[in-house]
Structure formats: C-alpha cells, structure tokens
C-alpha cells in the first residue's frame, strides 16, 4: 500500500464536528489521567462493528479487532471479552442498554458500523460513557478506500483515546526502521516502513549496503538515512511515496551520518567526520553547502532539534565521556544537561518540547530514559543488555527503541514503552529490527 | 590467532622481508603454517610472497587493536604498523583503506565516530612513517561489522580494531 496517494477524508462528522466533540469530552467524567503513576486499565466493550452493507462483514470484524488492539496496546485500556456481554448491539442506531454494560463493568462502550461501496469504505463509531449513561462526544465517520481500512481503524482508536485521555492520539502513524537478518557478523540491513503496530511492512531499500538510522521528515513524506553504498557512510534522502532516493552533497574524504530534519523540513543537521574528528554540521536538504555548528577535537554527534527549531540537543565526549548538551540551532555555546553516573547518548527532543529521551550506559547496562530539557527529573524507563535509539510517538507519550540481546545469537528487535516506564512491549516485525523513527500523525 | 602468535609471525615476517634472497624465504619456511607455500618455491601472491597482500595480511598483520573507548595506537599496534609502513613503502602500487571498528558496547552513532578516530590514528601513524597520505583513505563501520560475536571482553577486544585493507596493484 502506498503511503501517499491514498484517499482518506477524515472527520466527516454526522451530527457534529471535532470542535463539538472536544467540548463534550472535557465535561464527561470518563477520563484517564495518564500523568498519574499506576493506573488500573479502563475496561471497555467493543461489540463487533455492524456491517451495513452485505459485503462489509469481513472488514467490520477486522476493523473492530484493530481498534480494540490499539486501545489495549496502550496498557491504559482493557477489553472485556465478547462472551461476557449481556446485550448485543444489533444495530448502530439502536438505543444503548446502559444497565447491561454497567453490569459487566464496562466503563466505555464503543459501537461502530462499516459500509462498503465498490472500493469505498465508510466507518462510523460512537463512544459511550456507560456509568454516566451518556454518549461521549459525537459520532464520527471516516471514509476512504477499502485498501486503507487499517488507517480508518487507527483513526477511530485515536479519537477514542483522545476523548478519554485528553491527549493526542498516535495510532494513525508509521515507523521507518532498519530491518535486519543474519548473525551479528553477517548482518544484512535494509530500510523498512510499517504501521506503528508492525502491520503493512514495506521495504524501501535492498540489503546490498549497510543502512543506518532512518529519520522521518516533519511531514512524514521523506526519510533521511545513512548508507554505505559508496563504501563510505553518506547521507541519503528518500521520498516515501516514490521510493526514489538521492545522495546528499558530501565532501570528498569525509564521512557523514546521523542526519535529522529541522522542523522546517528543509534544513538538516548531521555529523561529519574529517581527519578522525566528528563535528555537527547543518545544510539544506536541497544542497548549497554545509555549515559547521561545532568545532572541537571531541566527538559531537546525534543532533536533534527542539520542536520550535531554535535549539539542538546532541551528545559530546568533550568532558571525557559521552554527555548531552544543548546549543542554539545556529551553533555557539553549549550547555551540558546530563550529570548522572554513566554515559549519555542519542538524545531526541520530544514533539511536545518538554522532555528529552536518551540512551544511558552505566555499569554494563543500557537504559532508555527521559529528562527535562534542563536535565532535571531524569527517569530511566528500561534496562537491558543493550537498549538504544529512542524515538517519540507523535503525542510524546510513548517511546519506541532498539533492544539487542546478548551473545552469539544476539538479535535486534523493536520495543515500545510509555514515558511513565509502564507497558514495555515488543513491536512485532517480520525480521529483526533496529533504529526506529516514528512519523508524525498521518493526515 | 592470539596476539603472541601474531607477534611471532610478525617478527618472522620482518626478518624475511629484510632478506633479498627469495629462495631463502621459501626454504626457511618462516611463514610456514600460514599457507600458500609449497616446497622451496614461492607461489606468487601467496602468504610467503613478501610482495603479496596475503603476506601483508598474515605475516605482517593487517590490523591493530584498541583499548575500550580509546583510539591511541598501542605499543603492540606500533610494531604492526611499522611493518605495514615498511611494506607500503616497498610496494608502492598499493593503496589502502583503513577500516575503523568498535565493539558493541556503545551507541551506534558514537561508535561510528569512535571508529573514525581509530582509523585516523592508524592513518596518521603510517603517514608519520613516510607513507603518502593520498594512498590512505579511512572509513568507519562503528559496531556494524564485528568479527567476533560473543558478548564478552574476549570478543570485544578483537572487534575494537582498525584494519588496513589493501587495494590496487596485484591482488594475488
């Protein structure tokens, strides 16, 4: 399935607009405050969506399953099995028997209907606050092609998640990553694109050369990555829709890697190694020469912009070990922000701007952690033989990263974890996986 | 091969390299056990042909190892690199790409940068011994191409390396 060119008109409301929905949710008592420490997952019932046309039954079942998996996968919601239901939802239009859902302790009820006309698909849903006995927000309808049915399921789940948590959704998003096969001394790597949940994997390059660390553009239309196809690490930009790639300008005799887009989608920062010394540079992705942002004999790498584009967080060993620093986007004096024991690398600024995720190496273990942008309130979310390379979900609530297992059979795979440290889970991919980069929420 | 064996081979290799009589090289058998030679004759391109890349790789040693998170050439490394420099100054048809590597105990980008430091340290050393800089390119593979795959120091020590890979000239 192509990423671009898919017709999907979202938020065609039948009975209300997004604004009205947002208004309603703030008044409902059904609410998960996900800033709290430990929470009990909220039980929800999701009867299989009604098939409104004769041939919609299969998709209705699949869409229901994906909506349910999205919600359960957050660790914030728990699905009540259908065999516990007292009343069935025979029709999307029929009145809800709140008492029947209250009796099985369903706090949220999600009903839906699916219709198919040729290759056109329409999905509508309603969300009910069972204990208040009221609908939460207005019903919504999404239309698109049958091919894009998963995206519509993710949009339904995003709307439910948003209404109940008050946070932005993240299910209708994609992840570009490095797909891996072979042992540690014979590893084959190629770029792959998938839905956030591991579905619809598409390979973007072959594995004839090492590829590293793909990074989405702010609009999700392009990917920067490093490839060894010339024999030397160089930066490429790949158009996700056409899968055409182009090598960026580079200086002879240098190595360039660790690229990342600025929020404007035009400028990039990256590392350039010359004469053994690695510094951070910036350039326009269209060309026109590179500007040097750091100038020190130490290693400066892994730059990442603040969401407003005014600052860059990066790692440097100028103090004698890897630590995190923030400097103005145009270069200049940097402030060290990491001071705990061990080494800190691969900083990534949260899309909300409030936190920086990083890899920490201490006492032979690796951790994914987050800290505030001034370095305070450091919190380690994971621990293993080798965790590295965090990427943020579009809503800044979840982090995906690489976990590599130990020893001769060591293998890389993708994991995600909530920024509270809860809900650590593997993201299933057909092969091994590393270096994930989460897209923005799709449009 | 252990470092000790490598040094012994290296000493043998240097002694042979200094010898102008190729027959003695073969007859001496100093490079025996590393393959290629048959009886008293030198097989061109084999490891006991001192002008061959195989000789460079095996008798002199194509790689040096580094301490954890370090890029300084060690005393043992200098002995190997002295041999490499001598060979490169003799066999001027060859150029080389020096590949820097790191063990898996580090983040990906940092290890690319660390491998670049290591490769450059070797290049600078060879230049200091008279090898022309335009014959020596560098590349870093970071932790992407380990040769040993266990997850302990025995393997890590061998993966923290810079390998001088010959190019051009006769490849045997």
The domain that contains B160 carries what CATH number? 3.30.1330.60
Per DSSP, the three-state class of A167 is coil
**Helix ranges restricted to H, A238-364:** none
- Summarised one tens digit per residue, pLDDT across range B41-95 is 788 888 889 999 999 999 999 999 999 999 999 999 999 999 999 999 999 999 9
Q: Is residue B29 scored above 60 in pLDDT?
A: no
Cβ distance of B109 and A183 shorter than 8 Å: no
A359/B149 CB distance under 8 A: no
**The length of chain A, given as a count of residues:** 443
pLDDT digits (tens, 9 = 90+) for A177-197: 999 999 999 999 999 999 999
The pTM assigned to this predicted structure is 0.88
In a domain, residue B5? The reply is no
d(CA A121, CA A335): 52
Q: Which residues of B68-104 are buried (b: 16+ CB within 10 A; e: fewer)?
A: ebebebeebbebbbbbbbbbbeebeebbbbbbbbbbb
B109·A213 Cβ contact <8 A: yes
pLDDT for res B83: 98
**Which residue in A69, A65, A76 sits closest to A165, CA to CA?**
A76
In percent, the amount of chain A with pLDDT more than 90 equals: 88
User: Residue B116 falls within a domain, yes or no?
Assistant: yes
Complete DSSP assignment for A122-156: EEEEEEEETTTTEE-S--EEEEEEGGGHHHHHHHH
Task: Specify which of A29-38, A140-149, B26-35 reaches the highest per-range mean pLDDT.
Answer: A140-149
| CB proximity B139 to A under 8 Å | yes
Asked if A212 lies within 8 A of B145 by C-beta distance, the reply is no
The predicted model gives A312-341 an average pLDDT of 97
Residue B8: the pLDDT is 40
The CA distance from A80 to A222, in Å, is: 40
Residue A31 has a pLDDT of 78
Give the per-residue SS3 of A172-217: CCEEEEEEEECCCCCCEEEEEEEECCCCCCEECCCCCCCEEEEEEC
Residue B141 lies inside a defined structural domain of this protein? yes
What whole-number distance in Å separates Cα of residue A388 and Cα of residue A400?
10
Tell which wins on pLDDT, B48 or B106: B106
Residue A337 pLDDT grade (very low, low, confident, very high; cuts 50, 70, 90): very high
State the smallest CA–CA distance between residue B48 and chain A in angstroms. Answer: 29
Mean pLDDT of chain B: 81
Cα pseudo-dihedral B42, B47, B49, B53, rounded to 10: 150
Residues pairing with A323 in the sheet: A316
* Residue B172 pLDDT greater than 70, yes or no: no
Asked if residue B20 belongs to a domain, the reply is no
pLDDT value, residue A35: 60
Could you tell me the two tokens for B53? 């890349």
| β-bridge mates for residue A345, sequence order | A359
Is B115 within a domain?
yes
Q: Structural domain tally of chain B?
A: 1
Q: Do A255 and B139 touch (CB under 8 A)?
A: yes
pLDDT digits (tens, 9 = 90+) for A28-50: 477 777 665 657 899 999 999 99
What is the reported pLDDT for A443? 85
Which residues are registered as beta bridge partners of A123?
Answer: A114, A142
Centroid of chain to Cα A172 = 9
- Return the residue of A nearest to B136 by Cα: A253
| ipTM reported for the complex, 2 dp | 0.91
Q: Which domain holds residue B123?
A: 50-168
Domain assignment of residue B15, yes or no: no
Domain for residue B31, yes or no? Answer: no
Residue B123 lies in a domain: yes
Q: What is the CA radius of gyration of chain B?
A: 16
pLDDT of residue B40: 61
CA of A217 to nearest chain B CA: how many angstroms apart? 19
* Facing residue for B109 by CB, picked from A185, A228, A258: A258
All residues of chain B having their beta carbon less than 8 Å from the beta carbon of residue A364 are 105
């Amino acid at each position: 399935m192509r990423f671009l060119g898919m017709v999907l008109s979202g938020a065609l409301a039948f009975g209300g607009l997004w604004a009205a929905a947002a208004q309603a949710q703030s008044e409902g008592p059904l609410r998960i405050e996900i800033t709290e420490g430990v929470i009990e997952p909220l039980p929800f019932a999701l009867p299989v969506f009604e098939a409104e046309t004769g041939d919609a039954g299969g998709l209705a079942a699949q869409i229901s399953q994906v909506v349910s998996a999205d919600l359960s996968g957050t660790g914030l919601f728990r699905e009540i099995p259908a065999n516990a239901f007292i009343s069935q939802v025979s029709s999307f239009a029929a009145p809800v028997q709140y008492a029947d859902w209250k009796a099985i302790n369903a706090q949220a009820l999600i009903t839906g209907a699916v219709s198919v006309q040729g290759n056109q698909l329409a999905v509508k849903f309603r969300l009910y606050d069972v204990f208040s006995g009221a609908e939460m927000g207005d019903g919504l309808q999404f239309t698109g092609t049958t091919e894009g049915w998963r995206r519509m399921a993710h949009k339904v789940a995003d709307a439910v998640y948003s209404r109940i948590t008050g946070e932005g959704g993240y299910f209708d998003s994609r992840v570009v990553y490095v797909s891996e096969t072979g042992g540690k001394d014979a590893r084959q790597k190629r770029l792959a694109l998938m839905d956030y949940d591991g579905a619809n994997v598409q390979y973007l390059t072959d594995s004839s050369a090492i590829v590293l660390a793909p990074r989405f553009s702010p609009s999700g239309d392009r990917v920067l990555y490093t490839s060894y196809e010339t024999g030397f690490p160089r930066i490429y930009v790949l158009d996700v829709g056409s899968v055409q790639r182009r090598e960026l300008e580079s200086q002879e005799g240098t190595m360039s890697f660790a690229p990342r887009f600025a929020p404007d989608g035009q400028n990039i920062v990256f590392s350039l190694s010359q004469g053994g010394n690695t510094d951070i540079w910036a350039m326009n992705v269209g060309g026109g020469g590179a500007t040097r942002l750091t100038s020190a004999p130490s290693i400066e790498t892994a730059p990442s912009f603040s969401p407003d584009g005014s600052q860059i967080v990066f790692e440097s060993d100028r103090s004698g070990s890897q630590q995190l620093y923030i400097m103005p986007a145009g270069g200049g004096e940097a402030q060290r922000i990491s001071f705990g024991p061990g080494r800190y690398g691969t900083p990534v600024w949260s899309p909300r701007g409030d936190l920086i995720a990083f890899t920490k190496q201490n006492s032979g273990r690796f951790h994914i952690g987050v800290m505030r942008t001034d370095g305070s309130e450091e919190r380690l979310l994971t621990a293993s033989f080798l965790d590295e390379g965090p990427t943020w979900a579009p809503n800044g609530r979840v982090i995906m990263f690489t976990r590599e297992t130990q020893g001769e059979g060591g293998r890389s795979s993708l994991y995600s974890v909530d920024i509270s440290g809860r809900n650590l889970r593997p993201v299933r991919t057909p092969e091994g996986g590393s270096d994930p980069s989460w897209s923005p929420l799709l449009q | 091969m252990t470092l000790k064996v490598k040094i012994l081979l290296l000493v043998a290799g240097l002694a042979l390299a200094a010898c102008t009589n190729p027959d003695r090289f073969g007859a001496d058998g100093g490079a025996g056990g590393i393959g290629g030679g048959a009886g008293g004759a030198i097989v061109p391109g084999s490891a006991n042909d001192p002008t061959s890349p195989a000789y460079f790789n095996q008798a002199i040693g194509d790689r040096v190892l580094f301490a954890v998170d370090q890029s300084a050439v060690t005393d043992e490394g200098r002995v190997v690199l002295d041999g490499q420099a001598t060979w490169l100054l003799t066999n001027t048809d060859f150029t080389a790409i020096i590949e820097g590597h790191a063990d898996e105990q580090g983040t990906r980008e940092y290890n690319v940068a660390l491998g670049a430091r290591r490769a450059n340290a070797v290049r600078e050393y060879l230049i200091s011994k008279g090898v022309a800089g335009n014959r020596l390119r560098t590349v870093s593979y970071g932790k992407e191409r380990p040769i040993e795959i266990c997850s302990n120091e025995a393997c890590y020590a061998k993966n923290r390396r810079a390998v001088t890979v010959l190019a051009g000239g006769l490849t045997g």
